[in-house]
Every structure is written in C-alpha cells, then in structure tokens.
Structure 1
C-alpha cells in the first residue's frame, strides 16, 4: 500500500457548499477506489486564501491515479508533496475521507467530520504507522 501527504493553495476561497461538494465526490470515488485518508481545509483571513492539507492511502495504482487527478485539478495550485511512501497498514482505515474545515462550524455535523484536536480523532489513527505527513497534520491543526 502507498500513502501521500501534500499541501496546496486553493484557487479561491472555498464556500461551505464547495467543500461539501468536494467531500461528497471524494468520498464516493475513494470508496470505489479503496482509498482512505483525511482532508483539511483552512481559510486564512489575513491573506484571503484557503489551503488544503491531505493524506491519502491505498493501493499504489489507485493512489497514483488519484494523484494524477489531484495534480491537474484547477481548484488549487502550488501543490507540495510533504511525504509519500509505502505503508503496511492504513492510518485512516475507517474513513473514505475524513474532513476538517477549520473555519466552518456548520460542517461539524457532516458525516465523517472529526475534531483533529480530540482524543477520539487520534484514537482512530493507527499510531504504529504514523507518518511524517500525519505529524505535520497534527502541527497544522495545532498551529
């Protein structure tokens, strides 16, 4: 199995509807392709821009395929891979796509929403396979 963690900048600030649509599409596709992971969106008022941080894991061919789609997606740019490599077990085995919008409290009740600062979130993570990308995810949330 393979994992990849990346950050990128949103082309424009994402509305709650934009994020909900992205999440719905991603979950359906990831379920079909046996991909799990977590997506974080953070809007920064000071710079009037949003950023994504995403961890994906699954079969190597599926990750390579989704990466081609992500890399050419015009909803974001300045894509930087933080970590990638092989894993023996999934960190997010129960999530087709966990999601966190750090600014939209209304999405709190969306299926799959998790508070990255909660004990419940980290209890779901397979700490045995904690990657550099997941450590970055933790610091991204805490920062």
Structure 2
C-alpha cells in the first residue's frame, strides 16, 4: 500500500487538525428603524460581503436588538467586526470572542437571517431571550455567558444536521 492509499484511508480532515476558524458574537441596539424589508436588505448585503471574505454565520433581530454570530479566518472576522462597530445604524453593546474553534459550525450560511418565528419553531426563543438579556445587562460572568452562547449555537447546528432548518 503506498502513502496515498494510507492517507485516503485515514480520511484526515486538515481543516479540523489545523483550525484557522475564529468565532465571535455580538449584541447591538438599533439606532434607526428596521422593518422587515430593511432587515432582509441588510442580511442580503452581509451575505454577499461575507461570501467574499469567506465568513459564515447568522443574524437575529428582535425588539431593536441585533445578535450576530460570525466565523472564519480571524483576520477577516476581526476586520469585519471593526467595520460593523463603526456602522452608525447601531451601537454594539457587547462583544464576545468565542475564539478558535475546531471547524465551521455554519458552512454554507454566508449570513443566514434567523427570523423570530424560526427561533420559536426551533424551541430556542427562551434561550435566545435569556442570552440577549444577559448580554445587554452584563448580569452574567463572561465565561458563563460564552458557554451558554455556545450551547445555543450547538442546538442550531444539531437542527441543521437534522435538516429541520436549511
């Protein structure tokens, strides 16, 4: 058996072994009115930009608050976050660096907008509200908040794998 056959048998996932995937989440409050059309336009623009930057993630908007998860190359994600923080349409209230992760959680989602009804259907609405409140009021320690956000992200990943959301 030559070396190539051995490698193919091992099925090594180099992205997992040499992870260059960085993730963060932020919460911001809208400073301008966002109706459904404006949110969809924002999500479409973000999707196009993220595709160019090879960033994936999702966006939620509820009661004037944005919650966004971003993952990709650390330089690209941090650079995009710098631009997001300068956007005059909102004010960032809290930013949590999840850090390096083994692999992308939301491959194929350049920027998926999760509408309020979808969170309810995923049975994540209560968890989402609790995380938002915790991020907004800073009533929870950073590490505990980060851990709970990761639990919510994992729930969304599981629902994607079960093809309950696309």
How high is the TM-score relative to the length of structure 2?
Answer: 0.60
Aligned to 2:119: 116
- For the 8 Å contact 2:29–2:91, the answer to whether it is kept is yes
- Return the match for 1:55 from 69, 89, 106: 69
- Return the match for 2:151 from 120, 131, 135: 135
- For the 8 Å contact 2:24–2:95, the answer to whether it is kept is yes
RMSD: 2.4
SS of the aligned residue for 2:58 comes to strand
Unaligned runs of at least 5 residues, structure 1: 44-49, 106-114, 122-129, 139-143
Displacement of 1:35 in angstroms is 0.2
> Runs in 1 of length 4+ with deviation above 2 angstroms?
115-119, 130-138
Choose 1 or 2 for highest CA Rg: 2
- Return the match for 1:91 from 67, 81, 105: 105
Aligned to 2:15: none
Alignment of 1:74-89 (within 5 A): 74-89=88-103
Provide the rounded CA distance (Å) in 2 between the counterparts of 1:117 and 1:25: 25
- For the 8 Å contact 2:30–2:65, the answer to whether it is kept is yes
Unaligned runs of at least 5 residues, structure 2: 1-20, 125-145, 156-166
Aligned to 1:112: none
Question: Residue 24 in 1 paired to residue 44 in 2?
Answer: yes
How high is the TM-score relative to the length of structure 1?
Answer: 0.69
**Larger strand fraction of residues:** 1
Displacement of 1:131 in angstroms is 5.8
How many pairs were matched up? 112
Aligned to 1:11: 31
| Greater shift in the superposed pair: 54-63 or 6-15 | 6-15
Give the structure, 1 or 2, with the largest relative contact order (CA under 8 Å, sep 6 or more).
1
